Amino acid sequence: QVQLQESGPGLVKPSQTLSLTCTVSGGSISSGDYYWSWIRQPPGKGLEWIGYIYYSGSTYYNPSLKSRVTISVDTSKNQFSLKLSSVTAADTAVYYCARDAADWGQGTLVTVSS
Amino acid sequence: SYVLTQPPSVSVAPGQTARITCGGNNIGSKSVHWYQQKPGQAPVLVVYDDSDRPSGIPERFSGSNSGNTATLTISRVEAGDEADYYCQVWDSSSDQHWVFGGGTKLTVL
C-alpha cells in the first residue's frame, strides 16, 4: 500500500518561498496513471487544491495560485515537491500531498510569520 | 470557476440516516468524491465516482448524483461518524481541475 509523507520547514517568513517535499513509499512515483497532488487547509477552514503533476510530467495549478506555484518530481528519490513563492500570512495552512483521491499524507503545518 | 455548495452543518441522532448534499451546476455530469475528515487527521476518501466505496469503508456510506445535486448518505449513524465531510469534483474542462465544497460538519446528537 502506498504511503506519502510531507516534509519541510514549519515556519516561513513573509515574502519568502515555501518549499515542501512529499516522499512516496510502497510504490514508484513514475509508474502508473496517477496524479500527484498538493492540497492545503488553513486553520479552521476548508480544503483548497493547489495543483498536481501527472505521471507524464504535465502540471496543472489552481488559477488563484498559479503565478506563485511550482510542482516538480524527482523520480530518483521517489519524491515530488511544492514551491510557493512570495508567501503571506494567508498561506498559513496544513499542507497535504496525495496520490489521486485515495491516498493522502498526514499533512504538515506551515506557518508564515516573521 | 466551478462552485460546490454544501450545508455548513447537519445533525442526526444515532441510528438514524444522515444526508449531506453538494450542489453544483449540472453536477450530475461530473464524477463526485466524498471525504471524511476527523479533527487533526487527514481527509479519508469514503465515496468515489459518485457511488463507489473504497476498500474498508462500511456499506453504511453511499452516494448518489443527479441533476444539480450530489448526496452522501450515511445509514445507521454512529458516534464515530461525527466529522467534517467534503465533496470534490474533477473538472478538466476548466483551469481548476479539483474543486472542493466548503465542507459539512456532521454532529451526532
User: For A34-63, how does the pLDDT look when each residue is reduced to its tens digit (9 = 90+)?
Assistant: 999 999 999 999 999 999 998 778 999 999
With cell 474498508, the residue in question is: B56
Residue B50 CB-density burial (10 A; 0-12 exposed, 13-18 middle, 19+ buried): buried
CB contact (8 A) between residue B98 and residue A104: no
Find the residue in A nearest to B102 (Cα): A46
Q: A2-27: per-residue pLDDT in tens?
A: 999 999 999 999 999 999 999 999 99
Average pLDDT per 10 consecutive residues for chain B, totaling 109 residues: 95 98 95 97 97 96 98 98 96 82 97
Q: Residue A38 corresponds to which cell in the numbers above?
A: 498538493
pLDDT for position B96? 74
B93 in contact with A at a CB cutoff of 8 Å? no
Number of Cβ atoms within 10 Å of the Cβ of A53: 23
| B88 to A48, A67, B23, B79, B101: CA distances (angstroms) | 10, 23, 11, 24, 6
Instruction: Assign 3-state DSSP to chain B and report helix, strand, coil percentages, each to 5.
Output: 5, 45, 50
What lies within 8 Å, CB to CB, of A65 at 6+ separation is: A50, A51, A84
Say which of A46, A96, A105 has its CB closest to residue B86. Answer: A46
Nearest to A83 by CA among A45, A50, A46: A50
| Residue among A30, A113, A19, A68 nearest A6 (CA) | A19
Summarize the confidence of residues A79-94 as an average pLDDT. Answer: 98
Distance CA B11, CA A8 (A): 38
Q: What is the pLDDT of residue A12?
A: 98
